[in-house]
Amino acid sequence: MTVGGTEVAGGAPAVSESGGGSSRAPGRPDQAVIFPTRNQYAGVVRSYRDDGFEMCADLCGVDYLSHPGRRLPQGVVAERFEVVVNLLSLSQARRVRVRVQVPESDPVVDSLFDLYPGTEAMEREAYDLFGIFFAGHPDMTRILMPEDWEGHPLRKDYGVGRVPVQFKEAPGPR
């Protein structure tokens, strides 16, 4: 199968043409969304890079724990985590979004550091906040949270914490 002129091993990744939302107004161009499997992921991104996508604009994680019934194209198995990569072609003024499913039991995907060194901080952020490991990343450590922090705060099962509201006249918690 070919993506952007380069052969990609392991079958065709699912593609969805609409990037979600309205595309009528300026500044909201349709973004092609592509759903490779974990094995295809690095190859697909590489072929896009060879195809003129010079920059990896954004990389983030999403935890779909409490929203399992999301819309995915046929053939894509929904997993708990998703890594969303936004590639940007400056020459074609075009974006493409790559969404790869990452299972909870084995949250590891290939690092894009070799392809786009600019993903270093973003992958560290995704690791820090979601606990998704990026294989081949040179420095897979926490970036925003303290080094000895436990847990990954942006996971949906990580509590937000709450301060109980105390009303003036109400009896206190005695």
Partner 1 sequence: MSDLTAAPEAHGADPQKEDGADPPEAHPDTVLPPPRSGDEFLAPGAGDEPQGLVAETSEGEQELSLRSHTEAGELRREVGAVLRLPEGVAVDPSDIDVERTDDQTMIINMGPQHPSTHGVLRLMLELDGETVLRTKPVIGYLHTGMEKTGEELTYVQGSTNVTRMDYLAPLHNELVLSMAVEALLGVEMPPRSDWIRMLMVELNRVSSHLMWMATNGMDLGSTSMMIYGFREREMVLAFFEKTTGLRMNHNFIRPGGTAADLPDGWEDDVTVICDTVMARTSEYDELLTGQPVFRKRNEGVGALSAEEALALSLTGPVLRSTGVPWDLRRSMPYLRYDEVEFDVIVGTFGDNFDRYSIRLNEIRESLRIIRQIVEKMPVGDYRVQDKKVTPPPRGRIDESMEALIHHFKVFTEGFKVPEGEVYVAVESPRGELGCYLVSDGSPKPYRMHIRGPSFVNLQGLPLMMRGGLLADAVAVCSTIDPVMGEVDR
Report the interface residues with partner 1, using CB under 8 A.
19-22, 24-29, 31, 33, 46, 54-58, 60, 62-63, 66-67, 70-71, 84, 86, 90, 93, 95, 97, 114-122, 125, 129, 138-139, 141-148, 153-154, 160
Q: Using CA atoms, how far apart are residues 11 and 106, in angstroms rounded to an integer? A: 22
Q: How far is the CB of 67 from partner 1 (least distance, A)?
A: 4
Q: How far is the CB of 8 from partner 1 (least distance, A)?
A: 15
- Cβ closest to partner 1, residue 10 vs residue 52: 52
Q: Coil, helix or strand for 48?
A: helix
Q: How far is the CB of 171 from partner 1 (least distance, A)?
A: 27
- Tokens 């309205």 correspond to 22
DSSP 42: H
- Cβ closest to partner 1, residue 70 vs residue 174: 70
Q: Using CA atoms, how far apart are residues 93 and 75, in angstroms rounded to an integer? A: 30
CB 124 within 8 A of CB 95: no
Q: How far is the CB of 105 from partner 1 (least distance, A)?
A: 21
For the chain, how big is the Rg over CA atoms in Å? 19
Q: Using CA atoms, how far apart are residues 60 and 58, in angstroms rounded to an integer? A: 7
Backbone angles phi, psi at 79, to 5 degrees: -120, 175
- Cβ closest to partner 1, residue 54 vs residue 106: 54
- Cβ closest to partner 1, residue 106 vs residue 114: 114
- Cβ closest to partner 1, residue 29 vs residue 174: 29
Residue 31's identity, in one-letter code, is: Q
Q: How far is the CB of 86 from partner 1 (least distance, A)?
A: 6
Q: Using CA atoms, how far apart are residues 67 and 76, in angstroms rounded to an integer? A: 16
